[in-house]
A and B are shown apart, each in its own frame.
Chain A
Amino acid sequence: MVRKMKKDLSNLWLPFNVLLIIICITPSGLHADDAHYKNMLIGERAATMGGSYVAVSDDSTGCYYNPGGIAYAVGDSLSGSGNVMHQMKTVYHQAIGTKDWVRDSEALVPNYFSVLKKFKSYSFCFSYVVPEAFIEHQDLVFENPLSTVKKYYQSLHSEDITYLMGPSAAMSLGEDISIGLTLYYHYRSFMRQQHYFLESTDGSYQVFYESKKQREDGLMPKIGAQWSPLNLFTFGVALDQTILFNAPYQGDLSYHSTDNSTGTVSLSTTMNRTKTELKRNMPLHIVFGAAYFPTPSQLYTVDIDYYQAQEKGRADVINYSGGTEYYINPTNAVRLGLFTNYTNLPQADSSTTSPYEYIDIYGVSFGYTSYSSSSSLTFGTIYTSGTGQAWLYEGLTESRKMTRDSLTFLFSASSNL
């Protein structure tokens, strides 16, 4: 569907060969960034340890990372976290002649809320998670960006937010093994509105407006287990896959242009509505982790996330993450984490349709928690950075260097019940 739309647009733009350079740099596709799986880290301890938590998960955040871990939660708790600020900046170097094209997105999203209750030897939890949230707004004005273009104005607003919510349950299957299940309802809301106006040096005009919206409904079952065969060590494994029930899409497009190139003004108008019901095939996600608890003040953890692609045009991905936690004293703890966020797109080749981006991202996280007898407050920051290549134009010979950096400030609180 996406490719078909790109083709439609390309046909519209063909008479304006030069202007294609500008038009193509607008974001396309129906997802803000579905090329990466670890765009937002969830929780307080987990997020500040690079999202490496599958072998720990012994608090309400475990509902998301590994429901098997919540069997070892210390007590009932209520947790909530919000990204105070999530900023992302993508730069396409020399994308418009010698000028860089910069895309910024900002989101202020409370991305985790959960309540955990222990009942005898069982743990129950209900959690709400926002694993993806992109809000992008652009107002671009270019004066004489090319010799044939006098003025180009573009306005773009895009929102893409995924929500997960649902119950979890965990139990022990013996002295050293626990297992748990989370069943998330998946809801995604996507919308993008884009408008541009272009004036050529020969007096021709183009006015373009496009609106896209899509929602997705589905279920994401997650099964997790933890095993502790040795004192001070735990191992965790979790498996999940989102299965979509429906994904209605509607796209509206209108395009008006005048052509003065032949000396006679001609007007062209196109209006189009597209409706589809194509569902994504989400990857199968398996994560393995190990944690080492040498003292009550220290903790080390590593995770390996494997994503098996389920649709054409996607590649399998392995992400790595590791983190450590250190208690300065019983009421103050600091955490550090490192993680990768590799692209799930295959290397570009001659069959690849532009626009196309290939970028691997690396991240570092840091956090501080203050504990009282019944609650905790966490402040943290997550920085990610990556360098890759972007093919912005028709044909794959003209790639551009692209960089992406993001900075997140998070604030979390939890309370014993």
Chain B
Amino acid sequence: MIRLQIFMLLGFCILSFSFTFPVNAHEFRLRANHIFWKNQEAGTEKEIDFGRGVAAKILGKYPIFKDEEKVNYVSQIGTGISAQLGRPELRYYFGILDTEDINAYAAPGGYIFVTTGALKLMRNEAQLAGVLAHELAHIDQKHIVKQLNLQSSDRSLTSGIAQILGGATLSAKIALERLNDLAFKMLMEEGLSKKDEADADQKALEMLISTGYDPQSYLDYLLSLKPHLEQGQAKVLSKTHPTIDTRIKLLSEFISRHELDLIHGKKNEKRFKQFMASL
């Protein structure tokens, strides 16, 4: 009993002593998994910061469409599809750009826009879902981040985007601004690689099937784009994407190879027209 009292007294003295010492970080104790996941988190935060800057530039070029009902509808469809993606750390934002130019944009970190021109061309909800799924696939696969070489070459411990854009120094801010310009140029002029676009098209189909939408509708949308591209109503899309014939051909082959033409999902044409009637 005396020993117990000594133990308790000693413990009380220790806990009563020094309430103000901070815990030393002891960085060397951090194991590989700690460092990796911390950098992943830091990388995601930087990706969102980076994407926010790109989104601001898109909104600087096109005015935002301020019909709350329509924006909410697009958001609901997009959010439903985003649940299929493997990046729960991202929060996705959907917006409508008030321009007759037919296109949709995805900025890193979860920012997605579709133009009123594209919405007017669509015939049903499955087509809208397909376009949003295509843009979500770009974000999910970090296509812009990879194309700008923001991905770390050494994936073992560090995240490249956090390395490049990390810190609050002036040079880091300049680097961020420079990368925003490059990403914006990529979206508006240069486009992503053919491989990334084909990849996004195929992933869009997979997401449509997973969410019960009609996959053929997405192909129908691409087919409906063709005459408008020829008439110059989608100038940015023409510049930044592979030719529509190439996309249609690749997607048709993919559908045929996997017998996706046998799947007939929902189109929700009536609901789509109800929301988009006044466009």
B18 within 8 A of A: yes
Q: Which residue of A lies closest to B89 (CB)?
A: A373
B18-A171 in contact (CB<8A): yes
B23-A296 in contact (CB<8A): no
Known contacts A221-B7, A329-B156: A174-B21 contact under CB 8 Å: yes
Contact partner, A71, options B4, B23, B30, Cβ 8 Å: B23
B172 within 8 A of A: no
Q: Which residue of B lies closest to A372 (CB)?
A: B37
B4-A330 in contact (CB<8A): no
B29 within 8 A of A: yes
B contacts with A: majority SS: helix
Which range contains the number of A residues in contact with the other chain? 35 or more
Contact count A vs B, C-beta below 8 Å: 96
Considering the complex, which residues of chain A in the window 358-379 have a beta carbon less than 8 Å from any beta carbon of chain B? 371, 373, 376
A234 within 8 A of B: yes
* Complex: A234 Cα to B157 Cα, angstroms: 23
A44 within 8 A of B: no
Considering the complex, which residues of chain B in the window 1-49 have a beta carbon less than 8 Å from any beta carbon of chain A? 1, 3-4, 7-8, 10-11, 14-15, 17-19, 21-24, 26, 28-37, 40-41
In the assembled complex, which residues on chain B have CB atoms less than 8 Å from the CB atom of A176?
A: 24
Query: Number of B interface residues, CB 8 Å?
Result: 31
A179 within 8 A of B: yes
Known contacts A178-B23, A221-B4: A331-B33 contact under CB 8 Å: yes
A287 to chain B, nearest CB (A): 16
Contact partner, A172, options B3, B10, B24, Cβ 8 Å: B24
A contacts with B: majority SS: strand
**Interface set of B (CB-CB < 8 Å, partner A):** 1, 3-4, 7-8, 10-11, 14-15, 17-19, 21-24, 26, 28-37, 40-41, 156-157
**16 A-B contacts (beta carbon < 8 Å):** A58-B26, A74-B30, A171-B14, A171-B19, A173-B18, A175-B24, A223-B10, A231-B28, A234-B26, A241-B7, A243-B4, A293-B29, A296-B31, A329-B32, A330-B32, A330-B36
**Interface set of A (CB-CB < 8 Å, partner B):** 58, 71-72, 74, 121, 123, 169, 171-176, 178-179, 181, 183, 219, 221, 223, 228, 231-232, 234, 241, 243, 293, 296-297, 299, 325, 327, 329-331, 333, 371, 373, 376
New contact pairs (20) apart from A72-B29, A181-B15, CB-CB < 8 Å: A58-B26, A58-B29, A72-B26, A171-B14, A171-B23, A172-B21, A172-B24, A175-B24, A181-B14, A219-B4, A221-B11, A223-B7, A223-B11, A241-B7, A243-B3, A327-B32, A329-B32, A331-B33, A333-B32, A376-B33
